[in-house]
């Protein structure tokens, strides 16, 4: 959510930003906010005048009563009652206006960084850089579901009976490899100076509304029936929510946290769920990183954070590239975002395994997260980035470490988490 002062002072810039995101239907929101804000400020002035008038008359009543002029005092009391009625009516309208303004402000996109490429959708995202040589072996690489099943590591049939489509059982050494990646990701980020965190896996609606747009919430979140609780789609949500309504000391910034959590997503949309494999599922696990920092430091942190993910995957022998999200593919709260994509030697193309974003002060404004500096309090900037989300990350490791005999090499950095196993052998 942007600062309403920006709409008051530069509405055309806000509208131009909306146009660059190809959301022309939201242009009307800017004019509506301006109109409602004008009425709200006028009403605030009127209410202040009514309160001053009431206070003045209340003092007058006291003086009249002290001088035994009860009849005159009673007459002014009636005037005070009329003022109170009018004030109550106007205060009610004030609250209505605040809610109407807020509901529209929540839908107006954040101001993008000038470096964001302009494009309508993800087809117009821009490749930044490749890391590692994408290799296609001479032998055929099977679908990842077949690789895992051949290693006796996947049971979607049973998961269908217990939970339905979009769920799975991982078994044996494949399950162990999956958890080894998460354990390594944890230690990898701790070594980078991040504080490890296991956050709540459910959050209230006010936190959900603080960290994401309404459209994202409807498409992603599972609500707990009968309670004001949602299952998290990523640990970023509850880790940022940890600071809701807080004023942190400036000397504590930056705050860098890496969090583990299971994640739950509806995955509503045209893409649907992947029937055979594990690329798009309702449940997965993730190691995330978040940073709270001074606004002027956010771009430095943005550059550091996506590079951590690249370094992580390269240590697993997985070639990757970074893809700059264009304006039309950028979520409304984000200032700038890039995806990290892993090479798929089977498909001979890259696929998304992580996303890094800076949101400026949008989340902090919604959640009331401030820092106390020498010149007063100010909103912090918030950033988030995926270290690894798996089983999607697992797919990348399996394909890029697959051997002709059906075995899978265990990347060297993961072997200590696998009891020294250096290769997973197929079930004969």
- CATH code of residue 363: 3.30.930.10
Q: Is residue 117 part of a domain?
A: no
- The answer to whether 193 and 305 have CB atoms below 8 angstroms apart is no
Q: Tens digits of per-residue pLDDT, 400-413?
A: 999 999 999 999 99
Same domain, 308 and 361: yes
Burial of 374: CB neighbours in 10 Å, binned 0-12, 13-18, 19+: exposed
Q: What pLDDT is stored for residue 393 in this prediction?
A: 96
Alpha-carbon gap, residue 338 to 384, rounded angstroms: 11
Q: What pLDDT is stored for residue 289 in this prediction?
A: 97
Q: Would the pLDDT of 24 be above 60?
A: yes
Alpha-carbon gap, residue 281 to 395, rounded angstroms: 13
Q: Is residue 351 part of a domain?
A: yes
Give the mean model confidence (pLDDT) for residues 64-84.
Answer: 84
Q: Which residues contact 5 (CB under 8 A, 6 or more apart)?
A: none
When comparing pLDDT for 57 and 271, which is higher? 57
Same domain, 76 and 171: no
Q: Is residue 113 part of a domain?
A: no
Q: What pLDDT is stored for residue 72 in this prediction?
A: 83
Choosing from 105, 139, 155, the residue where a domain stops is: 105
Same domain, 23 and 137: no
Q: Tens digits of per-residue pLDDT, 101-119?
A: 999 999 999 999 999 999 9
Query: What's phi and psi for 393, nearest 5 deg?
Result: -65, -35
Give the mean model confidence (pLDDT) for residues 19-35.
Answer: 96
Same domain, 158 and 240: yes
Q: Tens digits of per-residue pLDDT, 350-397?
A: 999 999 999 999 999 999 999 999 999 999 999 999 999 999 999 999
Q: What pLDDT is stored for residue 114 in this prediction?
A: 95
Q: Give how many domains the chain has, as a whole number.
A: 2
Choosing from 79, 105, 131, the residue where a domain stops is: 105
Q: Tens digits of per-residue pLDDT, 365-376?
A: 999 999 999 999
Q: What pLDDT is stored for residue 292 in this prediction?
A: 98
Rounded to the nearest integer, the mean pLDDT of the chain is 92
Give the mean model confidence (pLDDT) for residues 182-198.
Answer: 98
Same domain, 194 and 48: no
Give the mean model confidence (pLDDT) for residues 222-239.
Answer: 93
Give the mean model confidence (pLDDT) for residues 135-151.
Answer: 94
CATH number of the domain within which 80 lies: 1.10.287.40
Q: Is residue 23 part of a domain?
A: yes
Q: Is residue 279 part of a domain?
A: yes
Q: Would the pLDDT of 270 be above 80?
A: no
Q: Is residue 363 part of a domain?
A: yes
Give the mean model confidence (pLDDT) for residues 203-217.
Answer: 84
Choosing from 50, 72, 105, the residue where a domain stops is: 105
When comparing pLDDT for 273 and 146, which is higher? 146
Q: Would the pLDDT of 258 be above 50?
A: yes
Alpha-carbon gap, residue 154 to 385, rounded angstroms: 28
Give the mean model confidence (pLDDT) for residues 327-347.
Answer: 96
Same domain, 228 and 263: yes
Query: What's phi and psi for 118, nearest 5 deg?
Result: -90, 125
Alpha-carbon gap, residue 304 to 312, rounded angstroms: 12
Q: What pLDDT is stored for residue 322 in this prediction?
A: 97
Q: Tens digits of per-residue pLDDT, 80-97?
A: 888 888 899 898 999 999
- The Cβ of residue 373 has, within 10 Å, a number of other Cβ atoms equal to 13
3-state secondary structure the chain: CCCHHHHHHCHHHHHHHHHHCCCHHHHHHHHHHHHHHHHHHHHHHHHHHHHHHHHHHHHHHHHHHHCCCHHHHHHHHHHHHHHHHHHHHHHHHHHHHHHHHHHHHCCCCCCCCCCCCCCCCHHHCEEEEEECCCCCCCCCCCCHHHHHHHCCCEEHHHHHHHCCCCCCEECHHHHHHHHHHHHHHHHHHHHCCCEEECCCCEECHHHHHHHCCHHHHHHHCEECCCCCCEECCCHHHHHHHCCCCCEEEHHHCCEEEEEEEEEECCCCCCCCCCCCCCCCCCEEEEEEEEEEECHHHHHHHHHHHHHHHHHHHHCCCCCEEEEECCHHHCCCCCCEEEEEEEEECCCCEEEEEEEEEECCCHHHHHHCCEEEECCEEEECEEEEEEEEEECHHHHHHHHHCECCCCCEECCHHHHHHHCCCCEECCCC
Same domain, 287 and 218: yes
Same domain, 20 and 135: no
Give the mean model confidence (pLDDT) for residues 317-326.
Answer: 97
Same domain, 78 and 147: no
Which of 60-74, 130-144, 345-359 is predicted with the least confidence, judged by mean pLDDT? 60-74
Pairing status of strand 195-197 against strand 255-264: parallel
Report the percent of the chain where pLDDT is more than 70: 97
Same domain, 221 and 363: yes
Q: Is residue 110 part of a domain?
A: no
Same domain, 237 and 147: yes
Report the percent of the chain where pLDDT is more than 90: 78
Q: What pLDDT is stored for residue 69 in this prediction?
A: 83
pLDDT class of 45 with cuts at 50, 70, 90? very high
Same domain, 135 and 97: no
> In which domain, by residue range, is 209 found?
122-424
Q: What pLDDT is stored for residue 323 in this prediction?
A: 96
Q: Is residue 202 part of a domain?
A: yes
């Amino acid at each position: 959510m942007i600062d309403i002062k920006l709409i008051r002072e530069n509405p055309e810039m806000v509208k131009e930003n909306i146009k660059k995101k190809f959301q022309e239907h939201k242009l009307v929101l800017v004019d509506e906010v301006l109109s409602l804000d004008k009425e709200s400020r006028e009403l605030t002035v009127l209410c202040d005048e009514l309160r001053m008038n009431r206070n003045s008359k209340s003092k007058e009543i006291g003086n009249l009563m002290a001088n035994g002029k009860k009849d005159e005092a009673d007459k002014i009391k009636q005037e005070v009652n009329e003022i109170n009625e009018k004030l109550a009516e106007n205060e009610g309208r004030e609250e209505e206006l605040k809610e109407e303004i807020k509901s529209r402000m929540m839908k107006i996109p954040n101001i993008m960084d000038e470096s964001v490429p302009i494009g309508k959708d993800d087809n117009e995202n821009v490749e930044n850089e490749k890391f590692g040589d994408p290799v296609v072996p001479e032998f055929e690489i099977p679908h990842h579901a077949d690789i895992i099943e051949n290693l006796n590591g996947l049971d979607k049939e049973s998961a269908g009976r217990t939970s339905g489509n979009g769920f799975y059982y991982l078994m044996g050494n494949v399950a162990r490899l999956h958890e080894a990646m998460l354990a390594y990701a944890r230690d990898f980020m701790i070594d980078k100076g991040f504080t490890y965190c296991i956050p709540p896996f459910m959050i209230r609606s006010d936190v959900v509304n603080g960290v994401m747009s309404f459209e994202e919430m409807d498409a992603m979140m599972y609500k707990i029936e009968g309670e004001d609780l949602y299952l998290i789609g990523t640990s970023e949500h509850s880790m940022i929510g940890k600071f809701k309504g807080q004023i942190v000391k400036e000397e504590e910034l930056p705050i860098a946290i890496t969090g583990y959590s299971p994640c739950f997503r509806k995955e509503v949309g045209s893409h649907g769920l992947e029937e055979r494999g594990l690329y798009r599922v309702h449940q997965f696990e993730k190691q995330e990183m978040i940073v709270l920092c001074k606004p002027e430091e956010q771009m430095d942190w943005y550059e550091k954070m996506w590079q951590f993910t690249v370094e992580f995957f390269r240590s697993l022998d997985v070639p990757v590239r970074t893809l700059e999200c264009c304006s039309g593919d950028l979520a409304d709260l984000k200032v700038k975002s890039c995806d990290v994509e892993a090479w798929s030697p089977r498909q001979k193309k890259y696929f998304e395994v992580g996303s890094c974003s800076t949101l400026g002060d949008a989340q902090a404004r919604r959640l009331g997260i401030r820092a106390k500096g020498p010149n007063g309090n100010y909103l912090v900037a918030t950033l988030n980035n995926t270290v690894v989300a798996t089983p999607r990350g697992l797919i990348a490791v399996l394909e890029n470490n697959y051997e002709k005999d059906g075995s899978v090499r265990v990347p060297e950095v993961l072997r200590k988490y696998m009891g020294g196993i250096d290769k997973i052998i197929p079930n004969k």
